[in-house]
Structures are given as structure tokens and as C-alpha cells.
Amino acid sequence: MTAADGSGGLPEEAYAAALASVPQVGPATLRLLLATDSPSAAWSRSAFPGDVARIWQRHEEKGIEVCWHGGPGYPARLENDPDAPAVLFCLGDPAAVSTHPTVALVGTRSPTRYGIGVAAQFGADLAALGVSVVSGLALGIDGAAHEGATASGAPPIAVVAGGLDDPYPRRNARLWARVAEQGAVYSESPAGVRTEKWRFPVRNRLLAMLSDVVVVVESRHRGGALYTVEAAAARGIPVGAVPGSIRSPTSEGTNGLLADGCFPVCGVDDILTALALRGVLLPGAAAGAAGPGPGSGSGRGSGRDAAPGGGAEYAGPDRALLDLLSSDPVSLDHLARVTGMELPALCGGLERLARDGVARDIGGWWERT
């Protein structure tokens, strides 16, 4: 933290949080205020009402890191973007987004089972290969992607619309906590700010900024994920789309993107190719393991000595899932009924087991290897 001169001990981060908390100060105004001044100088010059110490205490109590453009801890990925947020809030490690290649997996909040399975599989596979999965922690595709990614491997990255002290949607509160523990959850909104509708397109722009490649798994014709696509296209960031049924409304957006020239994503290799074409290389250890696919027994680089027929190294929901599997294949519906798990969490767990080589998918039925 950087102390502010004459601040009574409050750091610059406190004034950055206070400026972002002023109701009449939007993203563009905040950028102007901090374009030439430090946060404390901008606060003094603007004479906004507010209790800086109280605002700062709220963020400290919640463990929310605060960084501003040009200050310590600000993500290097954002430094040269003219639309970069002036102030950024983070739960977890602010440097997490700078340690690995990043791929955004985005899509509809009302996906099909196909879309959930694809998002969870891509999330698990990319994390295992050393690629950080970036998404919005929303219901549907976002949640499924992070369910797959939050076991081991590269740190997951989330970008949300509201304040970091109030997880939204509530159903994903535990997933928020896992992402923050293993990686980072970012927001442009200070603590105490409600998740208002206008903040989602702003959030989607930041999703694109933090990503080397953007992949849309399922989206309706005018789905919110297309805001991320527009932001990515404006920055020259490659956009891929997963093909879907011409009869499915949730594939109208993705099929339209393919018609517009986005690259088709039929597997993780397509994403890795897009990264390579941008000159983005996988971490050395992960790149050497990029060949084997799910269920190959190659492991996820998780440090777990997964052994078929064992399972003692697993805990929590993944252990419960493994104990339910045997050499007799069972359906996804059966596993959902027995475990009571929501589909994104269930698919994420199964894909993690598949990456460890202890389970496999046979046409939608799952068995233990």
C-alpha cells in the first residue's frame, strides 16, 4: 500500500476506493480524475463528500484489494488500453491474471446440457494445460466453465459487475469463494455497490481486456456475451465460437458468429492454435503435456497422485462423485438425482475426474476407469 501525504495514515488505495464510491462518478469521469493526479490529490481537489476512512475500512474488512491505473498491483494487461478501468477491486491475488495465458469462456445464462458439458470440459482442460479461464461467474456457461477450472492448474479469473462484498448470483457464492481462493475475482465496483443492469456490459468489456482469446460456447442471437465479442473485436483479440444445432435458440448467436468469420471451436486444440497464432505460449511444463486428451491418464498437474481404483486423495464433491462411479456406466440424470448437485457443478466435477484419468464419458454415460 502507498501512503498518502498528509492523509493521517490512509494509503492511496483508500482514496482510490473513495473516488470510485462517489455515486455521480462513472468510469469515464474516474479516468479523467486520475489521469494526472494521485488518488489522494484527486480527492482533495474534487472536494467530494464522503468518509474515506470508513470506505477503506469496509474494503479492508472484506479482504478486497484496491489498485488504480499506474499504481502498484495494477494488471499489466490493462496498462495500455485507453478504456481500462481507473480503479480496480480484487478478491484473491491481483497478480493472478498476469501469470498465465488467458482464455475467456462466455455464453448464455440459460444453456443446454450440451453447452454446460462443453464449458465444463473446456474449463477443466484449459486449466490443466496452464491456461487461466476467464469468465463472469454468472449462472449457465460462466459457472460451468469455472466449475471445470477450479480444481487445480492455472488460476481461474473472474470479472463481476457488482461489489465484491455481495456475491451475485447467490447460488454461485461458493464458486466465488473457490475462484478467489485459487485465483482472483475482479470488479470495477467498490464494496456496497448493487449489481445494476448497466454494469454488465461494462463488466463484459473488462472480460475481453483480460483475455488473450475469447470463446463463446452458447449464446442467443442478442445474448449478453456478444458485448464481450464486440469489445474483443475492437481490440484485435481472436474470437471463437462453438458450433451448435440450427434448431437450438441457444446456438443462434454462436452460429451467427461463425458465419461472420469467427474461428470454429470444436475442441481445446482449436483454442490452443488461436493462442499460438497470437504468439502466446503455454507454460513450459504444461506445453509438453498438451497432447493427451481427457481420460488419457495424463493428470492435471494438480499434485494429486490419482490412481484408478484408488480415490483416497480426493475429498469433498469430487470424492463423492468418484465413489458413485463403477465399471457399470451411469447416466448424468442418475448422478444428478443421487448427488443433488446442480448440472454445472456436476459436469465440472466429472470433467476434473476425467482429466485425472479416473473416469470417462461414454456417450453421455459415465464410468470409473
**Nine-digit cell string for 217:** 460456447
Q: pLDDT per residue over 88-110, tens digit each?
A: 999 999 889 998 999 999 999 99
State the Cα torsion 189-102-201-242 to the nearest 10°.
Answer: -150
Is the pLDDT confidence value at 69 over 80?
yes
Q: Give start-end residues of each CATH 3.40.50.450 domain in the chain.
A: 99-161+197-277
58-67: average pLDDT: 95
213-241: average pLDDT: 93
Got the DSSP string for 21-36? H-TT--HHHHHHHTTT
CATH of 99-161+197-277, one of 3.40.50.450, 3.40.640.10, 3.30.420.40, 3.40.50.720: 3.40.50.450
Is the pLDDT confidence value at 215 over 70?
yes
The rounded distance, in Å, linking the Cα atoms of 262 and 162 is: 30
What pLDDT does residue 4 have? Answer: 52
Burial environment of residue 160 by CB neighbours within 10 A (0 to 12, 13 to 18, 19 or more): buried
Tell me the average pLDDT of the chain: 85
| 305 Cα distance to chain centroid | 27
338-353: average pLDDT: 79
Q: pLDDT per residue over 236-295, tens digit each?
A: 999 999 999 999 999 999 999 999 999 999 999 999 999 999 999 888 634 333 333 333
What pLDDT does residue 284 have? Answer: 61
What pLDDT does residue 297 have? Answer: 33
What pLDDT does residue 8 have? Answer: 57
Q: Hey, CA dihedral for 170, 320, 157, 217, is it positive or negative?
A: negative
What strands, in cross-sheet order, belong to the sheet with 213-216?
A: 65-68, 87-92, 184-187, 157-160, 132-135, 102-106, 213-216, 239-241, 263-264
Q: Please give the model's pTM, rounded to 2 decimal places.
A: 0.79
Is the pLDDT confidence value at 117 over 70?
yes
Is the pLDDT confidence value at 135 over 60?
yes
Q: pLDDT per residue over 310-322, tens digit each?
A: 444 777 777 778 8
172-200: average pLDDT: 88
Is the pLDDT confidence value at 353 over 90?
no
What pLDDT does residue 1 have? Answer: 53
Q: Give start-end residues of each CATH 1.10.10.10 domain in the chain.
A: 316-368
According to CATH, what is the number of the domain 316-368? 1.10.10.10
